[in-house]
Amino acid sequence: MIELKNVSKVFTTKKGNVEALKSTSLKVKKGEVFGIIGYSGAGKSTLIRCVNLLEKPTTGDIIVNEQELTTLSTKELAKARKKIGMIFQGFNLLKTVTVYENIALPLRLSGLPKNEIEKRVEKYLRIVDLFNKKDAYPSELSGGQKQRVAIARALSHEPEILLSDEATSALDPETTDSILDLLLKINEEIGITILLITHEMNVIQRICDQVAVMEHGSVVESGTVKDIFTNPQHVTTKKFVNSAFAAKIPEEVQKELQSTGEIVTLSFIGTASGEPALAVATKRFHVYPNILSGNITQLKHEAYGKLIVHMQGEKSEVHRSLSFLQEQGIIVEGGRTDYGKQVLFG
């Protein structure tokens, strides 16, 4: 569906050349929700704007629907872009016309018949649950409603791909969740492929199937959201994953507790359950766990949880209990064979 091969982008400034993208490659399959996450300046906005050639790459190939976009004529590119919708952080609505006209006007300019325009505007306003606002002006809408209009406008051209450029960044958490739920609904019911960029891990975990982590113009790690959450490798990826779990044990407290036992992190996903397995381990191995912090979050359609636990008991029994937890499908990090040497389970 979408493939970037060794794409780079260099901007020329008064201070010299700036390499915003460095030989970046990724592939998005049909029907996926693919998220790109990174901090400010990572290059994610440049990347997504290269997909529909709002930014022309300096080098590399942009392949969408088996077409190499950089080789197309102006007319051919315009036709290809009709299959690519885009929504932005800033909504980009016309302030002087109604919600209906904001969606209808681009369709009118594309030469669509009047009756077809009416059908599409009604259809997509109903999908975004704003048909009752069709005669309202943008100034009468909330931020979330404005983004819904922008989504309806993008969908009205009936694209196969929807690009989302920080579409929820300007919204409050509750409104963000409602927009994410809408995007997920659109993906599942219409089958549209979604490529989004964000700096918020909440966006990735709620609706994405795949994720790529960017830093300094390069993709430093990519994979399924499940794999990235359960086994992050790059330091930046770990920061993003940890941001989903706010609780952190102060270092001084950790040092004090480690003198009397082990501090371990237990991660579990889907059907694996941390607390019942921990209860079994307590009885079977005569260990005494104290849960220091814990959280469960949602990864699209399955739960992912983390517990930070202080394990006390005989060293051999603690070691056996951690091995048992692993056998139950729980990822164990931070266990030690003695109270001076750190090893990794999982």
256 in the same domain as 232: no
Planar angle of CA 5, 6, 11, nearest 5 degrees: 125
Q: How far is CA 103 from CA 94, 97, 129, 147, 211, in A?
A: 10, 10, 14, 12, 31
260 in the same domain as 215: no
pLDDT confidence of residue 339? 34
Q: Identify the DSSP state of 110.
A: T
pLDDT confidence of residue 337? 39
Mean pLDDT, to the nearest integer, of 5-25?
94
pLDDT tens digits for range 70-115: 999 999 999 999 999 999 988 899 999 999 999 999 999 989 999 9
Residue 146 makes CB contacts below 8 A (sequence gap 6+) with 91, 93, 138
- Provide the pLDDT confidence category of residue 340 given band limits of 50, 70 and 90: very low
268 in the same domain as 165: no
113 in the same domain as 15: yes
| 161-165 β-sheet, strand order | 84-88, 161-165, 193-198, 33-37, 210-215, 218-224
pLDDT tens digits for range 125-168: 999 999 999 999 999 999 999 999 999 999 999 999 999 999 99
Residue 220 makes CB contacts below 8 A (sequence gap 6+) with 213, 214, 234, 236, 237
- Provide the pLDDT confidence category of residue 345 given band limits of 50, 70 and 90: very low
Domain boundary among 220, 242, 264: 242
Q: Number of structural domains, the chain? A: 2
Judge whether residue 342 has pLDDT over 50.
no
Residue 202 and residue 35 in contact, taking contact as beta carbons nearer than 8 Å = no
191 sits in the region (left: phi over 0; alpha: psi -120 to 50; else beta) called left
For residue 227, being part of any structural domain is answered with yes
Q: Domain holding 324: CATH number?
A: 3.30.70.260
97 in the same domain as 78: yes
Q: Which residue has the higher pLDDT, 301 or 66?
A: 66
Mean pLDDT, to the nearest integer, of 238-263?
80
- Provide the pLDDT confidence category of residue 335 given band limits of 50, 70 and 90: low
Domain boundary among 214, 242, 270: 242
pLDDT tens digits for range 255-291: 778 778 888 988 888 766 556 888 888 899 989 999 8
187 in the same domain as 308: no
Q: Domain holding 59: CATH number?
A: 3.40.50.300
Domain boundary among 242, 276, 303: 242
Residue 63 and residue 40 in contact, taking contact as beta carbons nearer than 8 Å = no
187 in the same domain as 279: no
Judge whether residue 251 has pLDDT over 80.
no
266 in the same domain as 236: no
- Provide the pLDDT confidence category of residue 329 given band limits of 50, 70 and 90: confident
Cα 315 to the chain's mean position, in Å? 40
Cα 261 to the chain's mean position, in Å? 37
For residue 328, being part of any structural domain is answered with yes
pLDDT confidence of residue 259? 78
323 in the same domain as 194: no
202 in the same domain as 298: no
CA–CA distance, 298 with 294 (Å, rounded to integer): 14
pLDDT confidence of residue 341? 35
| Average of per-residue pLDDT values in the chain | 90
For residue 344, being part of any structural domain is answered with no
Over its C-alpha atoms, the chain yields an Rg (Å, rounded) of 24
- Provide the pLDDT confidence category of residue 346 given band limits of 50, 70 and 90: very low
3-state class percentages of the chain: helix first, strand second, coil last, to nearest 5: 40, 30, 30
Q: Which amino acid is at 312?
A: Q
CA–CA distance, 261 with 294 (Å, rounded to integer): 18
Judge whether residue 6 has pLDDT over 90.
yes
Residue 157 and residue 82 in contact, taking contact as beta carbons nearer than 8 Å = yes
**What's the domain range around 146?**
2-242
